[in-house]
A and B are shown apart, each in its own frame.
Chain A
Amino acid sequence: MSKRKLTDAHLPVGECITQVQEILRERLCCQKLPDRPEGVEAQHKHLLELLKRTAVHGESNSVLIVGPRGAGKTMLLKCVLRDLLEDKEVQKNLLQVHLNGLLQTDDRIALKEITRQLHLENAVGDKVFGSFAENLAFLLEALKKGDRSSSRPVLFVLDEFDLFAHHKNQTLLYNLFDVSQSAQAPIAVVGITCRLDVLELLEKRVKSRFSHRQIHLLSSLTFPQYLERVRTQLSLPDDFPDGKFAEDWNASVKTLCEDKSVEDVLQRHFNSSKDARSMHMLLMFCLSRVSVSRPAIKPADLLEASRLCFADAKANMLHGLSILELCLIIAMKHLNDVYEGEPFNLQMVHNEFKKFLQRKSNSMYNFDQPVIMKAFEHLQQLELIRPVDSSSAKIQREYQLMRLMIDHSQIMEALQKYPQCPTDVKQWAMSAFG
Chain B
Amino acid sequence: MTHFTHIKMCDLHIYSYPSIFIYGHRASGKSHVMHVLLKELELPHATVSCVECVSVALLFEQVLLSFFGCDAASLLPRSPSLSDFVRIYRQQCSQSPAKQTRYIVMEKAELLRDTDANLLPALLRLQELVEDNVTIILLSEIVWDKFRPNTGCFEPLLLHFPDYSKGELQQILSQDRHPSYTAEFYSSYINILLGVFYSVCRDLRELRHLAALNFSKFCEPLAEGKVKETDTHKLWRNIEPHLKKAMQTVYLREVSSLQWEQMQQMEEKESGALRGLSAHTHVELPYYSKFLLIAAYLASYNPARTDKRFFLKVDRFNFTPKNLLNHLLGPKPFPLDRLLAIFYSVVDNRVAPTASIFSQISSLVTLQLLTQVSHDDQLDAPKYKCAVSMDFICAISRTVNFDIVKYLYDFL
Contacts and interface: CB of A to CB of B under 8 A. Distances in A.
Nearest to A116: B87
B199 A105 contact: no
B45 interface: no
Interface stretch (B47-55, B115-123, B170-178, B286-294): B115-123
B9 A285 contact: yes
B385 A311 contact: no
Given A22-B14, A371-B200, A383-B142, A320 B24 contact: yes
Interface string A73-112: 0100000000000000000000000001111111001000
Interface in B2-38: 8-10, 12, 14-18, 23-25, 28
Given A284-B157, A399-B330, A100 B28 contact: no
A289 B116 contact: no
Interface string A342-377: 000101100100000000000010011111001100
A376 B100 CA distance: 44
A371 B247 contact: yes
A288 B9 contact: yes
Interface stretch (B160-168, B223-231, B342-350): B160-168
A109 B83 contact: yes
Interface string A118-139: 0000000000000000000000
A74 B127 CA distance: 14
B141 interface: yes
A314 B142 CA distance: 9
B352 interface: no
Contact of A102 (B17, B23, B118): B118
A288 B20 CA distance: 13
B17 A29 contact: yes
A334 to B, nearest CB: 14
A313 B143 contact: yes
A317 B25 contact: yes
B4 to A, nearest CB: 13
A288 B15 CA distance: 12
Contacts of A396: 330-331, 387
A195 B151 contact: yes
B129 A322 contact: no
Contacts of A21: 12, 14
Contact of A382 (B28, B87, B142): B142
A321 interface: yes
A59 interface: no
B201 interface: yes
Nearest to A110: B83
A396 B330 CA distance: 8
B330 A395 contact: yes
Nearest to B121: A102
B208 interface: no
B145 A419 contact: no
A26 B329 CA distance: 59
B268 to A, nearest CB: 22
B86 interface: yes
Given A320-B202, A371-B252, A105 B23 contact: no
A29 B163 contact: no
Contacts of A195: 151
A394 interface: yes
A324 B146 CA distance: 24
B387 to A, nearest CB: 6
Contacts of A348: 328
B151 A194 contact: yes
B82 interface: yes
Contacts of A26: 14-15
B81 interface: yes
Interface of A: 18, 21-22, 25-26, 28-31, 68-70, 74, 100-106, 109, 113, 116, 162-163, 194-195, 277-278, 281, 284-285, 288-289, 308-309, 311, 313-314, 316-317, 319-324, 345, 347-348, 351, 364, 367-371, 374-375, 381-383, 394-396, 398-399, 419-420
The 8 closest A-B pairs by CB, nearest first: A288-B9, A399-B330, A320-B163, A313-B143, A102-B122, A320-B25, A103-B83, A323-B199
22 contacts: A18-B14, A25-B12, A25-B15, A104-B83, A163-B118, A194-B151, A281-B157, A285-B9, A289-B9, A311-B158, A313-B145, A314-B145, A317-B24, A322-B198, A324-B199, A367-B200, A370-B252, A374-B252, A382-B25, A394-B371, A396-B330, A420-B166
Given A103-B118, A113-B83, 20 more contacts: A74-B128, A102-B129, A103-B122, A103-B129, A104-B83, A105-B81, A105-B82, A105-B118, A285-B157, A288-B10, A320-B24, A351-B328, A370-B248, A370-B278, A374-B251, A382-B25, A382-B142, A383-B146, A396-B330, A396-B331
